[in-house]
């Protein structure tokens, strides 16, 4: 750790991992409800479990991004944070607000929560991923703006690298596009159209800039490759991301009431969306092959390489699988979508956060890298979680293809629930694989407490 | 990448590409907004439809169901439920939940009164009339 204020990152990383555990537990509950429908009913209905699962994901990824930012910006800007105290205040406000929101989801019926939190003043709740009460949404805006002020001031007073500029553009974009979550017209088509301006322009837009900046930072550190080379790659990758991804929003505008020309725009541009992810994979492997130093943190390097490969598979390949309009006509809103969602989020955003944490956490704990034994454990957790998510994705894809075949093709299509009963075996396999994922996550956490072997203190 | 292709060139492609395609996106959005009234039949959005959408949201229906293919995949598509089941069935179904059959997926009872059930049906009916380019493929959604 080169700057004292980088320590602000530590609580963010710890909270991120803690919420990650919660996300997986609720994922397992939902997965079990898919096979035993009345599990935990009426205490935790499926919709509540799902809301907790997806909201925890979003919040812990944001904690990860914020932790990463607090860690890498001082090193990039070569100066202490503008205000470490502000960094800690935003952490606690965000954590308490997030925890209260989750407690609210679990303790009272959603309609009661909406009434209690003033949803009638400005109805924004009850839309997928944006279920948070109005006060939580306002809280998120305040937290993010405070955080952005702190980070922007730090960059302004220090060295301005391409990595920090790209990260800042990504984070400001995140804040700006979140504002569309406050727009909820009573016309469902308009509601859906602009809902995607938050959801799509986050995950297939500005978040990818954050991802790119984080990956570039880790690669510079672990490979020692010249910054000019890495930053040139970064710009090319994120250029392709936005060139394909902005109009690629059109793949959500096929069947929601929007004009038919979106089928062309959406299909063509989103068919190109795998390109930046493929470049990311080539980039990561290329940089590691051309490395100028042998960094003792092998686990961080593995996560960085894994991010490239899994983001390409999950976001790129599995996205392309169902993005062409004639295909999407049949797969839209089936388990195929769920399959893609799981591998894309894991491969891109979970893994880049874990790569960053893997690199930064030992530094924050006063060492260059963890002991060999701890790294071995961490690499086992990498393989367990990654292989599990691949199989979860394959099982959900199989379920989705069968669902399409039974429910949407042929002259005598089955009803929804009848089709679900036919594909139960794949839901069982998915749930069992989910427990392997949890085992991987437990090993990951265990690796932080591994006392065996000597930690490395000199680079 | 070769030496003739500099970081400054890559940066310019990024900023230029982002601005160009965002402007194109805004242009397409503008055109879409002109066309939507003929496709979403907004003249039919009554107070009842508005209340129905509000009930849809405040009971987090999207947490289990899809609506025009978006949402959760745990329960049936409801964008075309009015055509599939009709108003009286929808009302009776919602009021009869949960079924309580062991091991089956359960829908909570949301304690809606008759007026609220009518509002939800009105919302489903209006949603079913949106021009969705012939999606879903068949009546099962």
C-alpha count within 13 angstroms, C-beta hemisphere, residue A327 = 15
Of A45, A187, A242, the CB nearest to B21: A242
Are A358 and A444 a contacting pair, CB within 8 Å?
no
Flag if A189 and B58 touch (Cβ within 8 Å).
Answer: no
How large is the average pLDDT for residues A240-267?
98
**Minimal Cα–Cα distance from B79 to chain A, Å?**
10
> Are residues B22 and B46 both part of a single domain?
no
Enumerate the β-bridge partners of residue A456: A369
Q: Are residues B35 and B48 in the same domain?
A: no
**Nearest of A397, A419, A421 to residue A410 by alpha carbon:** A419
Residues B51 and B89 in one domain: yes
pLDDT tens-digit series, residues A356-403: 999 999 999 999 999 999 999 999 999 999 999 999 999 999 999 999
Beta carbons of A9 and A70 less than 8 angstroms apart: yes
Shared domain for B76 and B134, answered yes or no, is yes
Q: Are residues B112 and B61 in the same domain?
A: yes
Residues B117, B138 within the same domain: yes
**Together in a domain, B52 and B78:** yes
Best of B78, B133, B134, B137 to disrupt the A interface (most A CBs within 10 Å) is B133
Tell me what percent of the residues of chain A surpass a pLDDT of 90.
98
Residues A132-161: what's their mean pLDDT? 98
Residue pLDDT, tens place only, B37-84: 999 999 999 999 999 999 999 999 999 999 999 999 999 999 999 999
Q: Provide the pLDDT for residue A107.
A: 97
B86-105 confidence digits (pLDDT tens)? 999 999 999 999 999 999 99
Within 8 A of B21 by CB-CB distance, chain A residues are 242-243, 246-247
Contact A128 B71 (CB under 8 A): yes
Average pLDDT over residues B123-135: 98
Predicted pLDDT at A457: 77
In this complex, which of B56, B73, B77 lies closest to A338 when CB atoms are compared?
Answer: B73
Bridge partner list, A299 = none
Q: What per-residue confidence (pLDDT) applies to A1?
A: 83
- Beta-carbon separation of B60 and A262 below 8 A: no
Look up the domain containing B13 and give its range. 1-40
Q: Record the pTM.
A: 0.97
Inform me whether the C-beta atom of residue B23 falls under 8 Å from chain A C-beta atoms. no
pLDDT at A142: 97
Span A4-44, pLDDT tens digits? 999 999 999 999 999 999 999 999 999 999 999 999 999 99
- Within this chain, do residues B36 and B49 fall inside the same structural domain, yes or no? no
> Which CATH number is B88's domain given?
1.10.760.10
Answer whether residue A459 shows pLDDT above 60. Answer: no
At A413 the pLDDT is 97
Contacts of B39 in chain A (CB under 8 A): 189, 257-259
Q: What is the pLDDT of residues A170-184, one digit of tens each?
A: 999 999 999 999 999
CA angle A282, A286, A288 (to 5 degrees): 125
> Do the Cβ atoms of B106 and A37 come within 8 Å?
yes
Q: Do B29 and B98 belong together in one domain?
A: no
Answer whether A441's CB lies under 8 Å from A19's CB.
no
Set of chain B residues whose Cβ sits within 8 Å of the Cβ of A253 = 32
Mean pLDDT of A174-198: 98
Cα–Cα distance between A211 and A27 in angstroms, integer?
24
Residue A70 has pLDDT above 90, yes or no: yes
B27 to chain A, any CB pair closer than 8 A? The answer is no
Q: Are residues B26 and B51 in the same domain?
A: no
- Flag whether pLDDT at B85 surpasses 50: yes
Determine the pLDDT at residue A268.
98
Number of domains in chain B: 2
Average of per-residue pLDDT across A332-351: 98
Taking CA A36 as the corner, what is the angle to CA A35 and CA A38, rounded to the nearest 5 degrees? Answer: 140
Tell me if chain A has a CB within 8 Å of the CB of B97: no
Do B66 and B33 lie in a common domain? Answer: no
B83 contacts chain A (CB < 8 A): no
Q: Is the ipTM of this complex over 0.90?
A: yes
What is the rounded average pLDDT of the residues A266-294? 97
Question: In angstroms, what separates the C-alpha of A88 from chain B's closest C-alpha?
Answer: 33
Confidence of residue B1 (pLDDT cuts 50, 70, 90): low
Residues B27 and B55 in one domain: no
Confidence of residue A116 (pLDDT cuts 50, 70, 90): very high
Tokens 């030992």 locate to A362
Q: Do B63 and A48 touch (CB under 8 A)?
A: yes
Size of interface A-B (CB pairs under 8 A): 226
């Amino acid at each position: 750790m080169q700057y004292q204020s980088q320590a602000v990152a530590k609580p963010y990383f710890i909270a991120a991992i803690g919420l990650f555990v919660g996300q997986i537990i609720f994922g397992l509950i939902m997965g079990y409800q898919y096979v035993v429908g009345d599990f935990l009913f009426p205490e935790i209905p499926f919709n509540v479990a799902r809301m907790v699962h997806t909201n925890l994901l979003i919040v812990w990824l944001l904690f990860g991004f914020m932790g990463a930012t607090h860690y890498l910006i001082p090193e990039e800007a070569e100066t202490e944070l503008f205000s470490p105290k502000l960094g800690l205040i935003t952490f606690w406000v965000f954590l308490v607000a997030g925890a209260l929101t989750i407690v609210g989801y679990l303790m009272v019926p959603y309609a009661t929560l909406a009434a209690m939190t003033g949803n009638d003043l400005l109805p924004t709740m009850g839309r997928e991923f944006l279920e948070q009460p109005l006060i939580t949404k306002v809280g998120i805006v305040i937290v993010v703006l405070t955080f952005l002020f702190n980070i922007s001031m730090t960059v302004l007073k220090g060295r301005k690298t391409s990595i920090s500029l790209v990260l800042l553009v990504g984070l400001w974009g995140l804040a700006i596009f979140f504002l569309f979550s406050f727009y909820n017209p009573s016309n469902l088509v308009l509601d859906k159209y602009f809902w995607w301006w938050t959801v799509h322009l986050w995950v297939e837009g500005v978040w990818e800039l954050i991802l790119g900046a984080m990956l570039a930072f880790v690669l510079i550190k672990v490979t020692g490759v010249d910054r000019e080379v890495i930053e040139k790659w970064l710009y090319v990758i994120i250029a392709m991301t936005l060139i394909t991804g902005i109009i690629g929003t059109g793949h959500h505008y096929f069947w929601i009431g929007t004009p038919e020309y979106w089928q062309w725009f959406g299909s063509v541009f989103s068919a190109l969306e795998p390109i930046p992810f493929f470049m990311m994979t080539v980039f990561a492997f290329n940089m590691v092959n051309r490395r100028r130093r042998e960094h003792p943190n092998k686990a961080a390097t593995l996560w960085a390489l894994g991010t490239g490969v899994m983001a390409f598979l999950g976001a790129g390949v599995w996205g392309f699988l169902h993005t062409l309009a004639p295909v999407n006509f049949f797969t839209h809103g089936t388990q195929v979508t769920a399959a893609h969602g799981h591998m894309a989020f894991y491969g891109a955003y979970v893994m880049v956060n874990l790569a960053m944490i893997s690199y930064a956490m030992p530094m924050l704990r006063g060492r260059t890298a963890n002991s060999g034994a701890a790294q071995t454990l961490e690499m086992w957790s990498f393989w367990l979680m990654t292989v599990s998510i691949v199989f979860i994705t394959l099982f959900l894809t199989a379920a989705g293809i069968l669902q399409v075949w039974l429910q949407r093709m042929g002259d005598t299509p089955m009803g929804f629930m009848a089709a679900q009963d036919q594909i139960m075996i794949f839901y069982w396999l998915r749930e069992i694989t989910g427990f392997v994922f949890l085992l991987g996550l437990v090993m990951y956490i265990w690796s932080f407490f591994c006392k065996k072997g000597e930690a490395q203190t000199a680079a | 990448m070769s030496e003739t292709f500099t970081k400054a060139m890559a940066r310019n492609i990024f900023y230029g590409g982002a601005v160009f395609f965002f402007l194109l996106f805004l242009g397409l959005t503008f055109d879409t907004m002109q066309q939507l009234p003929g496709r979403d039949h907004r003249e039919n959005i009554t107070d009842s439809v508005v209340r129905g959408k509000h009930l849809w949201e405040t009971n987090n229906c999207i947490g289990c169901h899809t609506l025009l293919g978006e949402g959760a995949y745990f329960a049936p598509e409801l964008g075309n439920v009015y055509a599939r089941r009709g108003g009286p069935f929808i009302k009776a179904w919602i009021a009869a939940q949960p079924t309580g059959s062991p091991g089956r997926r359960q829908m909570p009872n949301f304690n809606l009164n008759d007026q609220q059930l009518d509002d939800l049906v009105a919302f489903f009916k209006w949603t079913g009339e949106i021009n969705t380019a012939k999606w879903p493929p068949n009546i099962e959604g």
